[in-house]
Structure 1
């Protein structure tokens, strides 16, 4: 009887038998393997699509983080509304394209949690090949106010109060206390206060976002360097008191060290060609003029009566008060520091073209009716007050800041990077939540 055993013993047809065996095994195994490979390819494609949509939905949240950092500048939603959502317009929807081939719809919702601070809810949905992935996130973006001149108004450790028709143009306001707007007061930008404080804006005069969150910290400005710069004439040529009578004119060469006072009577004019150091005080009578072509140090105070004018050619430090009478004018592009109060009275104009840094080290800065100021006002230990119809082109930073009837601040950052305390605002981003939801 013919058998495989005999066939093998004779070594005839052995290869055919073995081939038939493997062919039978292959016929049994290959179809399932092909099905498995096909299933794997489908699963791989599905995973790849899911990964792409996941990355795209995450990219939508990252896009929101970026526009929060830029304040929504240059961004419009699907209805053409510019900027970020805020307390008055709480929701915006943005349609993004070109993210891993996915279409991404981002819904951004502003939530005001009062004492707990405001935050943004993000719903970012990416769709690819009929499949969707949604990333839900909650973000809190907190500017720290790291620079004292990053905003039009900065209350370092107190309140901001804007009374009747007072206005802040082209800038934000920030306070380590409360912000209060009364009777038609307005702010072009955003408002931010630290946690446990409030923003009172009954008539919705704040156009931008209102934020309550965090502890604000600010850089300080070291004024000692200005004092040193102003004192360079201490070893100059000495002179006794300079006292000019009515209508007198005098010119002196510096560096000049005046052992007494400088007193200018009505309609007189004094010119110092160089630096000036004064042991006493400076008093300018009506319609008088003082020109100092260099740094100046005043050991007591500087008082300028009505209609007088001043021009300084270097850093000025006054170891007392600075007071300008009605209708005064000054043209100065250098830092002015007074140890105590700075008062600029009615209808005066002060540094409108050059906007220098103006500091009261320990006192207040009071800008009175109809005065027009160009500069960056800084009172780290006192208050700044802008009274009726005054205008400031620049910025203001103090413990507390009050603006009265029709006073305005027009935030102007020309030359800001050259000022101490200037620069970019640092900020903190908190990711309160970040989770996913898959939809077919």
Structure 2
């Protein structure tokens, strides 16, 4: 009985210990939770700020590209008052609204064939301005198209799996190419599409059965189809972010129709700025250009009368096509051909005109960026 009384007393003497432990944890939580919540809040604010600033920068950059578009003689008459022609003279270009941001652009005359562009993007939270000086340049880069493979670095042809024609002679592959090579800013200005930005990150070509119009996408883009048919480009496509074509969805055929797909993304390393997959079959002549790496794995139904130009401006062109490729493969750091047949074809049609649009191919001048700054 004495032992039972002792145990009972000991149990009664432990009353309140759980409460003490709970209070200790509550105290620790009270001390650590506010700083943790503040840290999480700061991270969310920083992420939102970074996203907003990136979108504002894209919008301001679009204003610069719009001004360059207006400098083309075919478009200059659209400027109220015409192009400024004297030092100190400037014009305010038509405003734009991009992703809820108001973009205003001013074009000022500096010297003959030299202009200053100030593009300002204003949102409810911030203002970002890009000031750039552009000058008219006269460059011809068509020598790149005289080889079946052209690389400023090296090229690799996977033995036994890939074939290249010709392998000798004037149009044979060339490594360490030291001829004129276009810069990303030059080509970006050359291919820019002045139209209302495409809002979605997915472009379903099935929605354009009579022809895909020119597209300006400020951000990433996934080009897919939901019906197996032939879809024809009726204008150029210009994308500022990493791009996928025919990687998912239904099989479809894309007729380049002499137009260009330009990807203004410099993604490099082991990643790709542009990836074209086996859901897409390419036909017709056209240009496929990215500032960064290109992974080229489509089906091909082209023939010797077509000319396809694939160019990585600053990176690698990795080729694994399914079918016969006719045209030129070009890459700044490397061209790697793993399998498939690559044959050089002429970029000229029967009348002596170029089949594609590239600096020097009938449009021998464009506006190049001399200086560029952000404030």
- Taking structure 1 as the reference length, the TM-score comes to 0.38
More strand by share: 1
The two structures have a TM-score, normalised by structure 2, of: 0.43
The structure with higher relative contact order (CA 8 Å, sep 6+) is 2
Whichever structure has more helix as a proportion of its residues is 2
Query: Who wins on radius of gyration, i.e. which is larger?
Result: 1
